[in-house]
Structure formats: C-alpha cells, structure tokens
Structure 1
Amino acid sequence: MRDPLGETDRRIATALIATPRATWRELAAVVNLSERTVVRHVAPLYADKTLRATAIQNPFRHPGIRPTALRIRCRGEQSTSIAQALARRSDILSVDTLGGGEELMAIVFLDGATSRDDLLLRALPSGTSWSTYRLLHVFVSRLDLAPLTSTPPALSDVDSALIHALSQNGRASYRELARQTNVSDDTARRRLETLLSMHAVRPVTEVDLTLLGIEAEALLWLNVRPAALESTGLALAAHPSVRFTAITTGPTNLLAAVFAPDMNEMLGFLTDTVSEIPAIMANETTPILEVVKRSGLLRRGRVR
C-alpha cells in the first residue's frame, strides 16, 4: 500500500477533489504554486492511479433509474465474496464493508423491476438479509441532486456518449471527447457545458482517503423529523467532514457518509455536530471497515 501523500501532493489532491476538471493554471492558483510545479507533482499521481478521474451520471436525470442504498447482512465468511461480486456489477456505484465485516452497503442504480429482481433475488446468495433505502434526494457537498418537478429533456445519443466518455476519463479534453463521440470540438464543449449546468453528470476525482490522512469513515443512519429533512440534509452536506447526505425511504430517513482523521475526531463530529441538530431524533453509526468500490471504480487489490 502506498504511503500517505506529502503535504504538496495532499494539497493538490484536495483541490482536485473540489474541482475535478480544473486546468493546471487554475489549480496552481488555488494551491499557490507554479503551474510547472503542479504538473510535476500531479502527473505521477494520475500515472500510478493514486488519483483517478471519472464522472457519475445523475440518476434523477435518467427516467427509470432508481438510486438505492442496499444494506446487506451476511455471515463474516461470505462478506468478501459477496462484496467482490457486487463490485463487479456495472449498475453498482459503490461497495463498502461495514462494522466488523458482517455487513455491506452498496449504492446501486436500479434500472426497473428486472434489474432489482436480478440483484436481490438471484445475485445475493441464500443466508443473507437486506434492507433497501430508495434515495429520494441527494446532497453532494454543495451540489443538490433531486428528482425534477417536471420531465427532464431527453438526453441525445451524443449526450449519452459524452457521459460515458467522461466516466472513462473525467479530465478528458474537449478535443478528446469530440473524437470519441464523433462531433466537433465546439459541439463537445457546448453539450458538456449544458450537461454540467443541468447536473446530468458530475466529474469526480477519486482517491483513497487514507492517503490524505483520513483514517476513519462511517455511515450515519439518521431518523430526522420529516419537516426538517431538507434543512438537516443541507446542513450536514455543507460540513467539510461529510461526503454526501441523502433523504431515503426505509427504516431511517436520512443517510450520511462521513470521514475524520481518526475515531477520536469522528466522536467529536458526532458529539459536537450531529448532537447539536435538534431535528435528529436517533442515529446509528456504522464504521466503514473497507472500501471495495467507490464512484464506480474498483479499489486496487480489493477485487480479484
């Protein structure tokens, strides 16, 4: 496993998480380094896949797709094989092993009843049990992903091709995107800017958070007063220790993914931040033991 990143690499990686498609010049201004220094540091990080650039489609812009959190309980000896089998599926965005290894959580983009039945009734082995949480509204940092109040404009074949190309390389140039989708550079730029402005796709910089000094991650399964769901979701999503929050169906109604330098800091987040939100009536915290897949990308060495 790679050693944690040095201070300069960590600053650059953190800036790229915030702005995945920033130019090197823009990035240099953010981290207060020369453009040449930024390129010298960042090139090997992408080359050895310490940093990976991808993109995630917004499921709420794709009628028929049902974003769902799947919480699976299984025998400890089953967890590795189940996690790996789930991670290989293209319709699953992320897979985490929770607690002491007897639980898994996956984010899946279900495409209709057939996809649901194939996953729940055929892909999962006997002896497992699960709970499903339909994601009704997602807050990612300061980006609000929500079901639309009206039917979204249909994506063209070019739009779908651009989203796919961007998922393969979230930092692909307009020229490269144009080449892959058989359109002009100007068309690729214009269509991608439109897709980004309507939040149909979200560029992502993926990195193992332990390389940034983050040793503790957890999921919070929250029960929140219904009238305060949106305000609570927004408040948590704005916190720098929160990756995302989602309003859900199921046994709880708000899911939050959080991280901290260590478990003591995680405790501080729970006691100083979560406990101060009066609308939160109950919370179950499950530590993330291992990340198997995130942002649609398999973690190196976790899936054979």
Structure 2
Amino acid sequence: MGLTELAAVTGTTASTVARRLAELRARGALFFDVDVDPALLGVTVSALLWMQVAPAHLDAVASALAGHEELAVVAATTRPTNLVAHALCRDTEALHAYLTRRVAWEAVTRIETAPVLRTYKAATTLRTL
C-alpha cells in the first residue's frame, strides 16, 4: 500500500504517514525484509545444521555464525543440539567446504547436517485473521 492509500485509510495526510513511518523505522519498530528465491542467486543446496555447543560458548558461536553469508537462520534451541542454522550453498562441494573449514570449531562438539529435499512453506507475509 502506498502513502496515499495509507493516508486515506488512516484519515491523515501522505506527509503525516511518511513522517510516522520514518519515526518507526528510526526506532527500529518497523523494518523491511525482502525474500529472494535462493535459486536466482545460484543456490542449489539447502541444509539444516544441528549443532551441539557448550553452553558457555553458545552466545559467542551463535554471534559468529550469524555473520556467515551462507546461513539464512541461526537460532538457539533447548535440545541437546542447542544451535540450529539453515545453510544455503551453491552446491554440495561448497556445503562440504563450509562445514569442514568454517564451522569446524572446538566449541562445536557435534554437528548433524540434514539436507532439505523439498520446501513446502517458507517465510511469508502474515495476514490478518
């Protein structure tokens, strides 16, 4: 919806809507997220990585992994494998190189790799019920 349409449904002006949106963005309350089909970027391999990390190292490992361009998601969990990540790689060789060269840390005591064979649903826009 554009500024004019938002102004009409909120009973304000387009400039008021623009100012309020800018304020929300400045506070970090509103941000824009773009979904791109990974295949358009040359990604052919998707895998879930279940890692076991010593609790004392969990935040440091998760923060470091969050900076890896190969990972779309990094999240702490409450399982024995207490860190999960979603890797997107151009091919199996790239996934292998990533696992053996970039994630092979002493703090990661165990890693299970689960290739994603088919995705039935990915992130989507939330609709009002």
User: Partner of 1:195 in structure 2?
Assistant: 24
Which of 42, 45, 50 is matched with 1:221 structurally?
50
The amino acid that maps onto 2:123 is S
Cα distance in structure 2, aligned partners of 1:295 and 1:179: 29
C-alpha distance 217-186 of structure 1, shift in aligned 2 (>3 A): same
Cα distance in structure 2, aligned partners of 1:193 and 1:285: 42
Which of 89, 101, 117 is matched with 1:289 structurally?
117
User: Partner of 1:252 in structure 2?
Assistant: 81
Of Structure 1 and Structure 2, the greater strand share is in 1
1:212 equivalent to 2:41? Answer yes
Where 1:186 maps in the other structure, the secondary structure is: helix
**How does the TM-score come out when normalised to structure 2?**
0.81
| Mapping of residues 62-141 of structure 1, within 5 Å | none
**How does the TM-score come out when normalised to structure 1?**
0.37
Shift of 1:181: 4.0
C-alpha distance 259-173 of structure 1, shift in aligned 2 (>3 A): same
1:265 equivalent to 2:123? Answer no
Q: Deviations over 1:72-128 (max 9, x none)?
A: xxxxxxxxxxxxxxxxxxxxxxxxxxxxxxxxxxxxxxxxxxxxxxxxxxxxxxxxx
Q: Percent identity?
A: 36
Which of 108, 120, 125 is matched with 1:280 structurally?
108
Cα distance in structure 2, aligned partners of 1:182 and 1:295: 32
Q: Which segment drifts farther, 255-264 or 205-214?
A: 205-214
Which of 62, 74, 84 is matched with 1:233 structurally?
62
Instruction: Give the gaps of 5 or more residues in structure 2.
Output: none
Root-mean-square deviation (Å)? 2.1
Cα distance in structure 1, aligned partners of 2:18 and 2:47: 38
Shift of 1:258: 1.0
Where 1:218 maps in the other structure, the secondary structure is: strand
The amino acid that maps onto 1:289 is L
C-alpha distance 185-246 of structure 1, shift in aligned 2 (>3 A): same
Instruction: Give the gaps of 5 or more residues in structure 1.
Output: 1-171, 298-304
Shift of 1:193: 3.0
Aligned length: 125
Cα distance in structure 1, aligned partners of 2:81 and 2:26: 32
C-alpha distance 224-199 of structure 1, shift in aligned 2 (>3 A): farther
The amino acid that maps onto 1:248 is T
